[in-house]
Structure 1
Amino acid sequence: MSEHAREAMEYDVVIVGAGPAGLSAAIRLKQLDAELNVVVLEKGSEVGAHILSGAVLDPCGLDALIPDWKDKGAPLNVPVKDDNFYMLGEAGQIRIPNWPMPPLMNNHGNYIVSMGNVCRWMAEQAEELGVEIFPGMACSEIVYGENGEVKGVVAGEFGKNADGTPGPGYEPGMELHGKYVFLSEGVRGSLAKEVIAKYDLSKGKEPQKFGLGMKEIWEIDPDKHREGSVTHTMGWPLGSNAGGGSFIYHLDNNQVYVGFVVHLNYENPHLYPYMEFQRFKHHPMVAELLKGGKRVAYGARAISEGGYQSMPKMVAPGVALLGCSVGMVNVPRIKGNHNAMLSGKAAAEAAYAAIQDGRASDELSDYETEVRDGAIGTDLQKVRNVKPLWSKRGLLASLTVGGFDMWTNTLGFSLLGTLGHGKTDAEATGEAKNFKPIDYPKPDGKLSFDRLTNVSFAATNHEESQPAHLKLKDASIPVSVNLPKYAGPSARYCPAGVYEFVKDESGSDKFVINFQNCVHCKTCDIKDPSQNINWTVPQGGDGPNYPNM
């Protein structure tokens, strides 16, 4: 046996990621059979540490999974009381009336929540049922069986030197094998990305599309606080530069979630999503709300936006993709957590049936059928044309034609059929010579903040002696291609200041990766125009530590 041989542990189902999808799967499996051996592996330092979402939660997923969630103390404490939609201009705003909105846009019956806290509560429910949950255990590799099936994962590898060789305290990690492996890593997970490529699961599908969501928590003047109020805006400051918009959710304790989403199919490489977010807070309506308050947390993550037509095949031998690993966000509703929960429940039921039948490591086709033909597919089919309309025809077409299409889809038909997305977000990036640079105001330190100061409010941390988890396929491309052709967009699209171009002692350009700043949003893996950056997991426990996101 080699010095660094790995031990193996056997389970019925191995689940990667303690988000709403993975925890729902774990809970449902134990509800169906208390004797099943189920393990959940979470790369964050604790459950919820890497969870960031808006979030207004549609409780339908929780209703299906744990019908008595209220009695069990689920942290859904702020029901939505009112919905507000605004179109912003630089100096003012126009209220969009609620009455023309399709019924699916109504937030009546939904709750403003911290999904981090919801996941912490779900983890408690899972552990009470006997699920083993191991936080701080990043899953760095897929383990394949003799017939090419997914057999398990490698988790808990620690102590590598910066060059990738084993350090003095090296721990090789363990192999965790399962009859089935569920990947619920969130958007653009590294293992899901590998599985999708290996089994060609995106064949015949539209490319997945993404947005970058950035969020701050503010404590505001109690006189301005309106618990249960939900506001969404579109328009300024993005204008025609990019699709996207904002959300402002009033939760309890005089706190407000202030978020901003930029669709990552923007063309102008000079666009700086983080600074668009900071500029947004200077709009008179927003500035008046936040004046006298203080920001207490910051974070960012990518959002899957491709919808129904972009969902890859979800199963391969021995493995199933759950939640955002597939892409189940309803874009106009800005909601995906309910579908993530339903996907976890469906995957668990399919795996349970297979195990009962004596099967293992085959394709859970019943899961795929349930997602596409059941509640999740129905939810996503109704809105499938909103994103491509916005991308190709702009905001006005999305509001008018897309709104009409959502109305007709509620009646069971669409005059548009199913529109395609075309390019990937990376391919959509234009050459710098064809666009004007954008002048962004300097942050004032009161409403707007520089990027590195804000990153400190994500409490992110990475052991500096380990290898950088952001890997370049070709180390020369950032300076030889991306800088002259695209004006070095990684220095702007990253919401955490990970990437920068500096001059070395000879005056030549040098590309620097400050991986310690990374908040695990995956934007670089998505938007890099040369597709030269591969996001992988750092050692377990590293990354942001979100308290209430």
Structure 2
Amino acid sequence: MAEIERESMEYDVVIVGAGPSGLSAAIRLKQMDPDLQVVVLEKGSEVGAHILSGAVLDPAGLDVLIPDWRDRGAPVKTAVREDNFWILTAGSHSRIPSWPMPPLMSNHGKYIVSMGNVCRWLAEQAEALGVEIFPGMSASELVWSEDGAVKGVVAGEFGKDADGTPGPNYEPGMELHGKYVLIAEGVRGSLAKQVIGKFALSAGKCPQKYGIGMKEIWEIDPALHREGTVTHTMGWPLGDEAGGGSFIYHAENNQLFIGFVVHLNYKNPHLNPYMEFQRFKHHPEIAKLLEGGKRVAYGARAISEGGWQSIPKVVFPGGALLGCSAGLVNVPRIKGNHNAMLSGIAAAEAAAAAIKDGRSGDELTGYEKALRSGPIARDLKPVRNVKPLWSHLGMWGSMIAGGFDMWVANLTGWNPLGTLKHHRTDAAMTEPASKHKPIDYPKPDGKISFDRLTNVAFAATNHEESQPCHLRLTDPEAPIKINLAQFDEPAQRYCPAGVYEVLEGEDGPRFQINFQNCVHCKTCDIKDPSQNITWTTPQGGDGPNYPNM
């Protein structure tokens, strides 16, 4: 195929992703220099369409970025009034009092929010400052300068046929060039994955660890609704099979944000995270909240869980990694949006200073230094050992040892356990199916629990079927010859959207990819035991259309 010719547009800074980190960077750039030309590219059909988070927001980042956010009408209104932590067994629960927990675990002073709506509001603030925001524009490729630095991205390519060749309505897209390119794609983004590999940004760091988070929004009986109540749980139904837990947030308008997180380092390939979520909702304490209610939305996304020791080098020639692209989630607090915003602010300040000095295309070392020594470091370093302790000791051991380590760090700034390591990727943790028993999950009842395909309809996901499949197999034979033979092909179960199936045919089993169902969670890219699946961006505007996740 002949080389595609594209027009180009020049900017000072190109930002990929209109999440909290990308929009914070855009706003801060224009605050520092209104004359900077800043563009934000968003693959969702609109800003917020691909945003999914719990979310209890720590306003630390918002306070720095827009100190008068309350007066400007930010959709951050539901203050946490009650903070609960439960350990579940199959039929009961035990409440853990707050006094043994370090102060950093408290949710008082925080807010229950829809991060999708917060991002929509941030986009309005950015546009008012002169930032150009282009939704429905997937950044599908990086553009490289002659000296090997990143100088831009390709965005807005549409109309490829299923075989990857240009179709009759093909649009080649444009190259958007910048003095710096800030990558804020979220967890396991395709461009971030490329630059981390090309520039060996994870060299000397622990492998990144992940969880899969699934969320439903319910409208519940007003008599059962307690606005501002936050509950987190651990224990049942996961037991010894996997780590994880739930969140139950009473938001405004009688809505309940209910979600379940499963750490992706589980060993048993028969485990189905989605079905664990559906089973969890039948716990007596949870079911009584949902009875008579109505589920109105569903979605899923991966969560970075590696913490401080897994953060890659965040700068590279020509750009930087922001937010979840760098892995800035505080695992025990179940919060990352504040750090995402703070990373966007710090990267913007470094980029604006560099451009003012006449620089471009180099490394923003000021951002790296700010991340490693500023408020993000102060948030993540004290909790650095919680995730590896959970991996090594399980739930109870990590609560005791991790609590001790966090308490000492909170009081002294010193972690007595040092920095524990993550040793293997989540994919490598998967064991052969022969070592584990299949799990018999109850059939969803259609009232409190639902099958995957029914729930995916509530994500409003849509993909143009004529385009190339954005879930690419390195070896098309590996799913059957390797994964099915050794691991009972866990893609059938770990995907929360029913994208992957093994179908029996006359010639034996075959692997089918229903990419139209994809909610862009990236779990397949992370957990596939043969690391054979690469998630790439579909054409712009495709994917879920979350209303207020």
TM-score normalized with structure 1 length: 0.99
Distance 2:117 2:90 in 1: 35
State the partner residue of 2:452. 451
CA drift of 1:4 comes to 4.4
State the partner residue of 2:91. 91
Distance 1:240 1:365 in 2: 43
Distance 2:511 2:473 in 1: 11
Distance 1:461 1:201 in 2: 34
Alpha-carbon deviations, 1:190-220, whole Å to 9, x = none?
Answer: 0000000000000000000000000000000
Q: Within 5 Å, give how 1:87-486 maps onto structure 2.
A: 87-410=87-410, 411-486=412-487
SS of residue in 2 equivalent to 1:382: helix
CA drift of 1:505 comes to 2.9
Alpha-carbon deviations, 1:317-376, whole Å to 9, x = none?
Answer: 001000000000000000000000000000000000000111001100110010011000
Matched AA of 2:335? K
SS of residue in 2 equivalent to 1:394: helix
Distance 1:33 1:11 in 2: 14
State the partner residue of 1:534. 534
State the partner residue of 1:500. 501
SS of residue in 2 equivalent to 1:445: coil
Identity of aligned residues (%): 73
Distance 1:271 1:3 in 2: 45
Alpha-carbon deviations, 1:110-156, whole Å to 9, x = none?
Answer: 00000000000000000000000000000000000000000000000
CA drift of 1:398 comes to 1.2
Distance 1:185 1:505 in 2: 42
Distance 1:5 1:423 in 2: 42
Matched AA of 2:72? K
Distance 1:108 1:372 in 2: 27
Pairwise CA RMSD of aligned residues?
0.7
Alpha-carbon deviations, 1:16-35, whole Å to 9, x = none?
Answer: 00000000000000000000
Distance 2:213 2:80 in 1: 21
Alpha-carbon deviations, 1:287-331, whole Å to 9, x = none?
Answer: 011111010000000000000000000001001000000000000
Matched AA of 1:324? C
Distance 1:58 1:147 in 2: 41
CA drift of 1:473 comes to 0.3
Matched AA of 1:89? T
Distance 1:505 1:483 in 2: 17
State the partner residue of 1:47. 47
State the partner residue of 2:21. 21
SS of residue in 2 equivalent to 1:372: helix
Distance 1:86 1:307 in 2: 24
Distance 1:53 1:60 in 2: 17
Distance 2:429 2:435 in 1: 13
Moved more, 88-97 or 408-417: 408-417
Matched AA of 2:445? D
CA drift of 1:108 comes to 1.1
Matched, 1:72 2:62: no
CA drift of 1:3 comes to 8.8
Distance 1:196 1:37 in 2: 26
SS of residue in 2 equivalent to 1:216: strand
CA drift of 1:415 comes to 1.5
Structure 2 unmatched ranges of 5 or more: none
Alpha-carbon deviations, 1:400-457, whole Å to 9, x = none?
Answer: 1101110011121121100001110000000000000000000000000000000000
Matched AA of 1:6? R
Distance 2:153 2:506 in 1: 44
Alpha-carbon deviations, 1:71-125, whole Å to 9, x = none?
Answer: 1110001000010000000010111011111000011110000000000000000
Distance 1:235 1:3 in 2: 55
SS of residue in 2 equivalent to 1:399: helix
Matched AA of 1:359? R
Given the superposition, is the C-alpha separation of residues 316 and 296 from structure 1 closer, same or farther in structure 2, using an over 3 Å criterion? same
Structure 1 unmatched ranges of 5 or more: none
Distance 2:27 2:505 in 1: 53
Distance 1:3 1:100 in 2: 63
Distance 1:477 1:13 in 2: 41
Distance 2:328 2:479 in 1: 32
Distance 1:63 1:543 in 2: 32
State the partner residue of 2:35. 35
Matched AA of 1:227? E
